[in-house]
Each structure stands twice: as C-alpha cells, then as structure tokens.
Chain A
C-alpha cells in the first residue's frame, strides 16, 4: 500500500466518519431532548381504561360503568378491565380464574384501583394479573445505544474509504510499474485495461499510456532499422573500396592502378554523398527548428530544376515537359524544397522508360502550390506506395544508382513545411508523385 493509498484512505474515511457522526449525533441529541415516554401504548391504554371505569363508578353510575366495560370488551381492548364488588361479583358477570382473584394485589399500582361510592359500596377495578404484567413490562422500544450507529458509521466508512483508495491507487501502481519497465527499455510493455467496465479518466490514462508505448516502440524500431540500414549502406562502398585497393596492390602496373584509383575515387564520392544525404535526413527528422527560411518563388525553383533535368533526360533519350506557370512566392527553407523537388523529378527521369516522357505539372493557386511529377517507369507494387518514402527503400531491382534516401528526404522536407506528398499509379503505367504546399507569408 503506497502513500497515495493511505492519503486517499485516511482523508475519505475521516470525511465520512465526520459526516456520519454529525448526522447521528444530531438525531441522538434531538431524541434526548424529547419528553420521556417509556411506557408502551398498551400500558397507557390500560391505565386510561382503569381510571375511566373507576371515575364512572365513583359517580355511583353502575349502569354507566357496565356500559363502558361492555363497549371496551366489544372493542377487544386488551388487557381486559374487571370490576368486582365487595361481595366478589364481577360487574359484567365474567368469571375470573382463582389465581387472578387472589393475587391481583401483587400487581403494580397501575393495574388496579379501589372505588368507594358515596353510598358506601366498594369496588375494585383491575386488570388480570398476567395480562397487566405483560402490558406494563412491554415498555416502548428503547432507542439502540448510541455506540451502535457510531460503530456502523466507522465500519461502513472504513469499507468505502478502502474501496475508494484502492480504486485510485491500484491503477496508479500498475501504471507506475509499467512506466518503470518502459524506462528499463522494455518497449513492448502495456498496461492491462483499468476499470474496464466503468471507463473513467484513469482508464483513459491507461489507454493513453498504451498508445504512447506503441508509438515509442514504432519510433525506436524505425530508428534501429534506419541505423541497421545505414551501417549496411556504409559497408557496401567500404567493401568496394577495399576490394579496389586490394586489386591495385595485386597488379601494380600503371594502367590498372589508374583504373583502380578511379574506382576508389568513385566509391569515396558515393560515401560522401551518402553521408550528406543521411545528415540532411537526420536534420529533418530532428525537427524544423533549424530551417533557414527565405522568400522564394516556387515556380521559378521548379522551372530551374526542370531545365537541368531536361538536359539530363535528353542526353539519355528521354523527354521532360513542364506544364503550368505563374508565381508562388512564399517564405520557406528554399534549399530543402529544392532538394525535395529535385529528388522527385530526377527519380522520375531515372525510372522512366527510354523514349518516354516525364511530365512536371505545377499549379500556383491562391493558397496552395501543387506539383505533380508523372513518369512512365515500372511504377511500384500498389501495396508499397507508402513504403517508397521510407529511408533505404529501393523501388527498382539492383543496378539503379542511389541509396533510396531521395524520396524520404523529399517527404520530410515537404512535411516540415506543412505540406503533403503522396504517390499513386498512373493509368497506362508509371508513377505519379503529388506534392502540395501551403503558402507561408514572410514575417513582417
């Protein structure tokens, strides 16, 4: 039981004990102030009947007393009232068991009374001993002792406080142990559903924790994959470098030496550009904070890239057509977007079939700039359309230059600027990449 448990427990318990005590204490006080009435209703009624009968007899009204007794008997009032005169006769002629006749004197004061009429006749008015005793002993129910409700209050509040404190502290403890195990690097940690039948804020906390854990696991997994891919990508040019050096050592004649040096140069160039692309990607992934923004016209930017790419395409028996014109001046990281557009357009030129044409279509709207790059290349598997933006994903089989970082860089650059990038398959073969960017006004 943690400290939180006891805090909840004690606070809630004290609160409910206090409330319970004040309610019970108040009612107890009220009852204490009430006039005492300890006799039972039957006893009161018996005394009343006795006194009335005695009073009527005392007025020498024997007939009235008889009528009163008769009506009491008729109404079934218990205990029955009997009246006996000095000769031992009962007023209504009822017979009495011998025991009652003999012992009525022993009964408490309230159960009989003597009446002497002005004429000198004497009567005894009484209730039967056993019945009178029963009525008199049956006191009005006593209120339970004050300790009982207090103990009940204590126990009930104890139970409720316990439940409540557990309700809060248990999920928090399970969350805590989950967070600890995450901190130890077990990223597959999840918490079991909390209060699954009664969803509340704490259950939502559990759901949020699980979502966070899943996201973290994905991110760390992606980072590890990236690191793995990077080391693999670095390894290949290094292995080729070493092979080239080995060959140069093996045949130290000038001609083959020259050939190997050329290879070594090419491989180190590759390493250099790989490292450059990785750094760009890392910068983009680490956040948008360090982007150097400037005011540029994106249409102009794309036109410049398209001109360069057209030159390259035409020297490889491919064509490039630029559609759309206008002006879209915005405040962006120009170098990043230049790279993004260049990567997408050069990719298209690289993959489009010999003799086919790459279409670069731009549209400068009022609020958005859109760019579409369409090629006639092999396209990709429809299920992998998302994956081509993953680092080191290579669309083509072997033999294609590049590390598979171009589209990944493009995607992150566009997303950093609040834009969208997507790929789709073209009718008639080939790939279409769409980029859409919002206008960012330059700060005043």
Chain B
C-alpha cells in the first residue's frame, strides 16, 4: 500500500539523471563482494522482523488464551498453556522460537494443529501465482502508458493518464476487486465470481500425481484445455485488481524518469541529429528509466504481498493471504505469527534478488 511513498523514496536515489546523490559510497569491490554483503545483510533484516513480531505478539499474552480463552475451563486452559510451554520466561520461549525458525520450524497452528510450513507449501503457490499475474498486468499496462505520458508531457493525454494513475492509486485494491466483480461477474456475467478454479477443475488438478499448487502449471501439465481456460478465467479479475494497483506506480515512475532522461545532454545530442521525438522516448530515454523500475519491482513485492492479502479475501482466492485472514478471525496468533514471519523472509529474499539484478544492470549501485 505504500505505493507512492516507495516511488518517491526511491526515484531520487537511483535517478539516472542525477548520479550526484548516490545512496552509498563508491568503492572498489567487485560484484562478488557486493552479492556477499547483500546476502549477509538479509539475516539482520529477517532477525529484526522476526524478533519484533515475536515480542509484539507476546505483549498481549499467550496465544492459547487468545484463541481458546473462554472456550475451555480455566484448569484445562492452564494445562494447555503449560504443555505448550507458554508459562516459561519469555526470553526462554524466544530463544527456543529462534532455534525452531533456524531449522525451518515455524510452529503448529493452535486451532487446527497444522504446521505453518505446510500452510506455506499448500497455499504459497496460489499467492505466488496471483502476485506473478499481477506483476505482468502492471508491467504491460504501466510501462507503455508511462512512456506515453512522458511523450505527451503536460498535454491532455498526459493529464488524462495521470488522473487515471491517481485514481488507480486512490482506489483500494479490495474496492477495485468488488467493482470488477460487480461489473464482470454479476452484471455482464462473463467471468467467475470467486475462487481459483471451478469445482470440477479443482478436483481434477488435485488428482494429478504431483500437483505444484500453481494451478496454471498444473492445468497445463494435465493437458486439459478446459482446465487451462477455467484457471485463466478465474485469474483475470484478481490479477487486474492487484495489477492496477502496481500499474499506477509504474506509470508515474516511468513518466518521471523518462521526462528526467529527456532533459539530459545525450538526448539533446540525439535530438540535434534529427532523431524523432518518439524514437527518443522509445529508445534513448526509456532504457535508463527502466533501472528504477527494477528497483521498485523489488519494493513492490512487499506491497504486492500486502495487496494479495486483500485481493485473496475479496476473491476467496485460497492463498497465504486468505489463510492469514481466516486465522486472524479465529485469533490463532501462532499461525498469524508464522505466516507473517514467513512473508518477512520472502520479502527479504526478494529484495536481495532485485538488488543483485539492479547491480548487474547498473554498476553505480554497487558498494
């Protein structure tokens, strides 16, 4: 959701026009060293987040009372708390928790006793699939429109596009979802209302020998054209809802950066040689403007995951976000803590990958 904030925060740092304000000192150091440093930096990030989430969740009391308090007699409740070890000093629990996480154990949910890691493997694919579709929608819609807006800078197509971008930004992703549902599923009745696939397809995909949990891949491997189209049709509205959110960010970012690049000397040089304005935007100004887009894709992963939680709830898309909402409703804080910690790890790792890609493209980024 911090879409605009990220745009603002990142564009000056990586702005191709203004290399005078690098985020970090330029030093020798090869790519290998940079990758190593960035990799090592993942650990404090994850550590801080996990620690924060752990202690915040413990301030309110133990998770068993939260989910089962009032449903069980006090004696039984105390026994459950004792069995789970929640009556020990918090610092002991914390160290144990860190030990478990280090070995990939994120705990079991209280309400239905499933390991959190199982939830990840079962529903992670769904969230990944949704985020991937949304990213594609965002890139396809956002980048060309951003270039267009830069090309028509301050003329009416630019104004219209920018107002659209602001409108997209101003519309919460769940409201976009509800509107799309209302128009395309209820009034026009051309797309399914909710879910990841029809019941028949879902059963078919689950009966596959090795389902990946990513329905599109499963559907393709099943070879059933009906299943493929069913899965794709179900994905259209959620992907649009989540993708538009990010598309607006890309539009603004590309516009700002292309306009910035268009004012540089080398573009002026090209212009003086008679290169057409359209070609200038498409060839000369576009590529340098893409570097911040790549960085922002990384930052958008965090907001895409946040948006996915809301989109999944709107469309009953059974992914991590949908599960998270269900467990929130059940006050199952072990599950919540586990899923949140996992998402933190995913965000940290994605940021690492994006930083590496950015460094490969633009050597100035390295430190």
A complexed with B: no
